[in-house]
Every structure is written in C-alpha cells, then in structure tokens.
Amino acid sequence: MRRVGVAAEIRSGHYGLWVTETRPGPTRRRRSDGEVTRQKVLDAAVQTILEVGYYQASSNAIARRAGVTWGALQHQFGTRESLLLGVLNDRWGRLHEQMATAEIRGATLEARLERVVEVLATHYSAPEHLVQLQILLDLTHNPDTSADAREAIAAHGRALNDAWHPLFVQALGPAARFTSLIAYAFLTLRGYLTSQLIASNIAETTSDARQRELLVRGVAAAIRDDAAARGVEIE
C-alpha cells in the first residue's frame, strides 16, 4: 500500500512531502511512547478546536485535554504552527490511505458515483474536516506563516490530485482519460459534501438522501453526455 502525505517531520522545522511503502505483516510495530503522546496531542487539538473554536484552542487547553504537560507538547511540536501542520498531516494521511484502498464497484455509473460519494464522505462530511479548513485558511492567509509551511500545504494540494484520481478511474471507466470529467466530478461531489457539513453545523438539517440522489444522477448525466460527444459510451 502506497501512502502519500505532507509534513511528516515537523519537530525539526522541516516540512515536506513524504511517501512511504507499507506492506502487510503478521503484526504491527508497537508505537513508541513519543508516538503515542504525539497522536494524543493531535487528537486533542482537533477536539479542542471543535469544542471551543479555533482561536480559543490554546496550547495549554490542548495539553490539558491530551493529558500531557505543556512541556511535552512543546517537545513534540515546538511551535503552534508545527502543531497545526501536524493536525493537517494526520488528516491528509488518513484521507490518502482511505482513497488508496477503496474499491469502486457498480453496474451503472450512478451506482459507482454513489460509492465514490460514500468514500469521500468519510473525510469531507466529518466534523474534523471543519478543523482542517480553519487551519488551512489561517495558515495560508497569515503573513507570519513560514515559507516551509506554505510549501508543505502547496505540496499537499499537488499530491491530493494523485490521491483521489484512482477513485474516478474506477467509476468512469473509459471516460476517465478525460481529465476534465474527473475534475468536474470530484469538485462537484466534494463541494456538495463540504456545504452540507457546514450547513449542519450552523442549523439543524434534515436528511439529504433525495438531494444526494439527484446530485449523483445529474453528475452521471453530465459525464455521459460529454463522454458520448467524444465518442465514448459509459454503462
């Protein structure tokens, strides 16, 4: 299994794109105490931001929630920027892994696109995605964000294209050679899921099953029409 992510090593102040190969084995390597602490802090950062808001989520509040000292948090991450990049990297790593292992099957294009929505929803419909958006908005617009951090975020954007591409290759079949159709499908479905997530956090919402069905049918119809105009038929 190939896993792609961003900002693997942030304690040293170096942020970069990383690729690791993971092969299945009889047992998993036991994580060190430092790795366990690091993950606890990352999880606590997400939950603290969701609970009290981005700007109220201080390092002290995150450390308390993680059950670690402020010194331990500083030892693991050094700066708030590094901690926030660690959160992004953790989320990105999970997204890349999910997409790399997902299977898209279905007798019709609609059925396959519905499966794609299910896979994307595990990330883009999760409350943690709101945290990711807040961090991205802050780091990309904050003039104090380091150049290395900006490059790490840009690298993620480039790597993301490779991450979700296989989903739509499976869904679109022969029409997947038209990159504009893949981009259209991804941006439309991601936009829908993200907007629903934001709406549900602002006010109470009802089931969106019918809207989702209409969306999938509309995207499928647009893809079929465009592909047919190029001489490609899709089941």
- pLDDT by 10s per residue, the chain, length 235: 333 344 434 333 444 433 333 334 444 556 576 788 899 999 999 999 999 999 999 999 999 999 999 898 988 899 999 999 999 989 888 888 888 889 999 999 999 999 999 999 999 999 999 999 999 999 999 999 999 899 988 888 888 777 888 899 999 999 999 999 999 999 999 999 999 999 888 877 777 788 999 999 999 999 999 999 999 999 8
Outline where the chain has alpha helix (H). 33-52, 59-66, 70-77, 80-101, 109-124, 128-141, 147-172, 179-202, 209-229
Query: What was the pLDDT predicted at 63?
Result: 93
Query: What was the pLDDT predicted at 87?
Result: 93
Evaluate the CA torsion angle 233, 120, 186, 196 in order and state its sign. Answer: positive
Residues facing residue 83 across a β-bridge: none
3-state SS track over 4-27: EEECCCCCCCCCCEEEEECCCCCC
Query: What was the pLDDT predicted at 30?
Result: 60
CB atoms within 10 A of CB 53: 10
Using alpha carbons only, what angle is made at residue 75 by residues 70 and 77, rounded to the nearest 5 degrees?
A: 95
Query: What was the pLDDT predicted at 152?
Result: 87
Element of type H or E holding 3: strand 2-6
From CA 6, how far away is CA 47, in angstroms rounded? 21
